[in-house]
Chain A
């Protein structure tokens, strides 16, 4: 229940997608409420990234970890529901306001704040996931490949998982 309310609030703050609110999800679940450890959080995020579909799925997993199947359902609905309803209504009036100056200013203004939040997400996740220099190297390599090339990220993920299983990242 508590997680539902929190995610419902975050749903309406998640300008620029769920990656932007990851630091807040981490703060609430790990730091404030102690629902899971840093390692758990990093593992759940990894599972969500490695499975197909939108990347808000990490919230489904967190809901499941905290409160079982009901938690997964509540977290998913809370994360998508409010913003979906809002999008549905806004899309209807969108065309009327498309070129108005205030809408452009809102877009310009929100963008850098959102990007700052996504950088924060990366920072929080790196702190949770990279416990030795070899892992940091994997992070740097995957960031480089994803930034400079158009390779499907699943290959990076598979390679990293293979390195993990091979035992070179311990």
Chain B
């Protein structure tokens, strides 16, 4: 069970999580909340994360809202959320301004070209890691919808909201019947 906490330590903890989280803050959130602070057990963390993943929005931001609200109501949610989002937003805006000023320089262009190529590789790896458990546990159910979502959005350039509204109900219905049969 999450202990009752004041807003201030919540805020500071999420600042620490976010500033150490390069390439996604999730692993660092886990280390901090479960192993260092003991605010959540490992099972509670996984369960909370799956709630946050089944809701729309940035997962880690949702996680901060849930942990914050359990620890200290709406004031906890606000302080955890601001701790997570505030510092990197300021930092990334400064980087954006620098890019606007120096983005045309040769070295900056070259570094960003390399970074860009690496960054999309990281996204591909994330997708593969997300796909693996689904394809292992229920291939026939997951693969067609995964493939259709990819084709529609990536290859045919259909608007994503339309794709989601079209595919999600069918996919949920398929999962429903599959679970009822077994």
Please list the residues of chain A having a beta carbon within 8 angstroms of any beta carbon in chain B. Answer: 9-24, 27, 31, 42-57, 60-61, 64-65, 69, 72, 76, 79-80, 82-84, 86-88, 90-92, 94, 101-126, 128-130, 135-136, 138-147, 152-154, 156-157, 159-165, 167, 169-170
Instruction: Tell me whether A117 and B149 are in contact in the complex, defined as CB-CB below 8 angstroms, given that A24-B159, A125-B120 are known contacts.
Output: yes
Q: Which of B53, B114, B141, B176 has the most CB of A within 10 A?
A: B114
Please list the residues of chain B having a beta carbon within 8 angstroms of any beta carbon in chain A. Answer: 18-25, 50-62, 65-66, 69-70, 74, 77, 81, 84-85, 87-89, 91-93, 95-97, 99-100, 103, 107, 110-131, 134, 138, 141-143, 145-150, 153-154, 157, 159-161, 163-164, 167-169, 171-176, 178-180
Would A87 and B143 count as touching, CB distance under 8 A? Answer: no
What's the Cα separation between A11 and B62 when bound, in Å? 11
Instruction: Tell me whether A161 and B111 are in contact in the complex, defined as CB-CB below 8 angstroms, given that A83-B62, A123-B154 are known contacts.
Output: yes
Dominant SS among interface residues on chain B:
helix
In the complex, the chain B residue whose C-beta lies closest to that of A54 is B60
What's the Cα separation between A110 and B50 when bound, in Å? 12
Would A14 and B118 count as touching, CB distance under 8 A? Answer: no
Would B147 and A116 count as touching, CB distance under 8 A? Answer: yes
Instruction: Tell me whether A110 and B171 are in contact in the complex, defined as CB-CB below 8 angstroms, given that A49-B115, A119-B150 are known contacts.
Output: yes
Would B23 and A152 count as touching, CB distance under 8 A? Answer: yes
Total A-B Cβ pairs within 8 A: 380
Q: Which residues of A contact B96 (CB under 8 A)?
A: 44, 47, 60-61, 64-65, 72
- Minimal beta-carbon separation of B58 from chain A (angstroms): 4
Would A13 and B161 count as touching, CB distance under 8 A? Answer: yes
In the complex, the chain B residue whose C-beta lies closest to that of A153 is B23
Dominant SS among interface residues on chain A:
helix
What's the Cα separation between A121 and B123 when bound, in Å? 7
A-B contact sample (4 more), CB < 8 A, given A120-B153, A164-B115? A12-B56, A116-B148, A123-B154, A144-B121
Of the candidates B21, B119, B159, the one whose C-beta lies within 8 Å of that of A50 is B119
- Minimal beta-carbon separation of A60 from chain B (angstroms): 5
Would A153 and B122 count as touching, CB distance under 8 A? Answer: yes
Would B92 and A122 count as touching, CB distance under 8 A? Answer: no
Would B112 and A46 count as touching, CB distance under 8 A? Answer: yes
Of the candidates A54, A114, A115, A135, the one whose C-beta lies within 8 Å of that of B18 is A54
